[in-house]
């Protein structure tokens, strides 16, 4: 399925991680739902996403796909593509309407963008 979607990279931002796909580049970072995350870690994730995007699609994976994964997508659009945070949130919500990014993550993003 991932191959059909052109996924070449998985970025996991959940504390539990057990890689099982040998043919896909994988990166793991532990993020929590809250503003206590280190912004330098977020920047490193965004740099990896930007670099890996050159070779194919990227799956950003967390536990439920409702908070941390969409947070990374919104952060990428804001930090790397220059979009306003609210516009980035709107774009991501249009693609995945069930998102519910933790308020602490949004606070962290707004504080650092």
Asked if residues 86 and 79 have their Cβ atoms less than 8 Å apart, the reply is no
Going by C-alpha positions, the residue among 39, 94, 98, 97 that lies closest to residue 72 is 39
Q: Which residues contact 89 (CB under 8 A, 6 or more apart)?
A: 74, 101, 106
Going by C-alpha positions, the residue among 40, 25, 28, 27 that lies closest to residue 75 is 40
Confidence (pLDDT) at 34 = 93
Confidence (pLDDT) at 54 = 94
Confidence (pLDDT) at 76 = 97
Going by C-alpha positions, the residue among 11, 68, 70, 61 that lies closest to residue 34 is 68
pLDDT, tens only, 2-47: 788 889 999 999 877 766 777 788 899 999 999 999 999 999 999 9
Note the CATH number of domain 7-112: 3.90.190.10
All structural domains of the chain with their residue ranges: 7-112
pTM given for the model: 0.91
Average pLDDT, the chain: 91
* Distance of alpha carbon 63 from alpha carbon 78, whole angstroms: 23
């Amino acid at each position: 399925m991932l191959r059909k979607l052109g996924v070449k990279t998985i970025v996991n931002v959940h504390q539990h991680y057990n890689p099982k796909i040998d043919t896909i580049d994988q990166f793991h970072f532990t993020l929590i739902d809250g503003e206590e995350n280190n912004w330098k870690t977020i920047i490193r994730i965004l740099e990896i996403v930007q670099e890996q995007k050159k070779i194919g699609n990227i799956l950003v994976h967390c536990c439920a796909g409702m908070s941390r994964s969409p947070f990374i997508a919104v952060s990428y659009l804001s930090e790397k593509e220059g979009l306003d945070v609210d516009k980035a949130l709107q774009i991501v919500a249009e693609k995945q309407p069930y998102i519910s990014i933790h308020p602490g993550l949004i606070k962290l993003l707004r504080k650092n963008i």
